[in-house]
A and B are shown apart, each in its own frame.
Chain A
């Protein structure tokens, strides 16, 4: 049965082999099967995105773009769906039982929810850094940084692997601090170092997009500023989307800010306003944005 863009789709566990294509997947992609997202795809476009957990609709009709080489911050009160939106960008939302996605998430011109797109491929292009630093506890610093490689790039020689690990750790501003203890457990690092190790792990597989879900909420102010400096540097190479509860962090670290809000508890989150961060924090268009960024309402 042909599938339309507005029809609800269950994405978890669906048989990929029998999938049909969505109408807006580009023509070039329609002729091929297998790998579909172009290498170097960087720009996200969300079109009428609705996300569900079973019967509960978490977000409603989100349409926005996430531009390359910029940091886009998602802000909003707890439960407004920021993290859900973020997790939908690398198809992690569907890992929740009963999760559903409606609408489109285009990475450049390819809908990442097309049924013949391999979620693993999406996740390689779109890396994620989580709220609490989560290095693999039994692995060394080196093994942590190389963890994604063994999954995505099998057959690398030791020297190739060494080179990628060093480049990733340097990219995450961690190399100088850990180069003499690469064989020590990653869990022995400080919180800020662990989070940078997770960023190194994410960039080792050479993604195009980095998603960060409150990456500094478990860190002290100095480690937080170090991560923010790193984000500023990484945006030269990656598309970055960050969820943060820290208003000042959004103001400091992002170029574009999107404000999501709930009309009331139990209702789905909606995109209230998106714009240049400077505008959102000096003269937002919507009163709800003004109240939220001013801290007048929680």
Chain B
């Protein structure tokens, strides 16, 4: 046996992971702003969220290119190969989450400045946003630490988001006959839907953690894959 070799490659791979997971911080920043636009009907901030999505897309392209280069030049196998495969999924999830933030931001001008609001609905949206933010952060932490249990916990966390989403739906159904409030409530349903999808993306990242660690890909339990007693 000789001393450790391929040091530069190992460093490149570590940097690649750092850049990829760093993309999730960009998503969190974008999500914070998107939620603020909803709470404060801030159209200018909404435009900033939309414009800033280029940074997330740029990170996606940057990491994607680096992955191609590593695949072409270093022929990674075993854990390295699984890591790279997982990072491709993580980047896709990151890019989709960024797009959901854009979707939320684009909905704000539709509601207008003067539309009536429903405090309960806004409260649920705020709670969902906080929960989803925490899930993104947890998915990043679980990936970096290769912590399968923490990753699996995301399923439990996501149940909270799903429950809040259903509550939003119920509020929208019962919001009353006024046209403007119904239109606002429908728009908020779309916001809730975007947040719910973002939460699912965080769970998907968790599944990639399990893949990197175990080499086996299995979807975590969810509505389509209930826990077998």
Contacts and interface: CB of A to CB of B under 8 A. Distances in A.
Q: Which of B2, B79, B80, B82 has the most CB of A within 10 A?
A: B79
A298 B81 contact: no
A281 B79 CA distance: 9
Contact of A247 (B77, B81, B214): B77
Contacts of A264: 1
Q: Chain A interface residue count: which class?
A: 10 to 19
Contact of A283 (B2, B6, B75, B215): B215
B79 A294 contact: yes
Contacts of B1: 262, 264, 297-298
Given A282-B82, A283-B82, A283-B215, A294 B77 contact: yes
B40 interface: no
B78 A284 contact: yes
A104 B75 CA distance: 37
B78 A290 contact: yes
Interface in B199-229: 214-216
Contacts of B5: 295-298
B179 interface: no
A248 interface: yes
B78 A281 contact: yes
B37 to A, nearest CB: 44
Contact of A281 (B4, B6, B77, B216): B77
Chain B at the A interface: SS class: loop
A273 to B, nearest CB: 12
A141 B167 CA distance: 82
A195 to B, nearest CB: 24
A264 B75 CA distance: 27
B109 interface: no
A234 interface: no
A248 B72 CA distance: 12
A294 B4 contact: no
Interface in A204-262: 247-248, 251, 262
Contacts of B82: 282-283
B76 interface: yes
Contact of A293 (B9, B77, B216): B77
Contacts of B10: 296
A298 B77 CA distance: 15
B77 to A, nearest CB: 5
B204 to A, nearest CB: 20
Contacts of B80: 294
B2 A281 contact: no
Contact of A297 (B2, B77, B79, B215): B2
Interface in A257-298: 262, 264, 281-284, 289-290, 293-298
Given A282-B215, A283-B215, A293 B78 contact: yes
A251 B6 contact: no
Contacts of A297: 1-2, 4-5
A166 to B, nearest CB: 39
A282 B6 contact: no
B2 A294 contact: no
Contacts of B75: 247-248
Nearest to A264: B1
B213 to A, nearest CB: 10
B157 to A, nearest CB: 28
A293 B74 CA distance: 12
B210 to A, nearest CB: 12
Contacts of A281: 77-78, 81
Contacts of A262: 1
Nearest to B79: A290
Top 6 A-B pairs, shortest CB-CB distance: A283-B215, A281-B77, A298-B2, A290-B78, A293-B77, A295-B6
6 contacts: A248-B75, A282-B77, A294-B6, A294-B76, A294-B79, A297-B2
Given A290-B79, A293-B77, 19 more contacts: A248-B75, A251-B77, A281-B78, A282-B77, A282-B81, A282-B82, A283-B215, A284-B78, A290-B78, A293-B78, A294-B6, A294-B78, A294-B79, A294-B80, A295-B6, A296-B5, A296-B6, A297-B2, A298-B1
Interface of A: 247-248, 251, 262, 264, 281-284, 289-290, 293-298
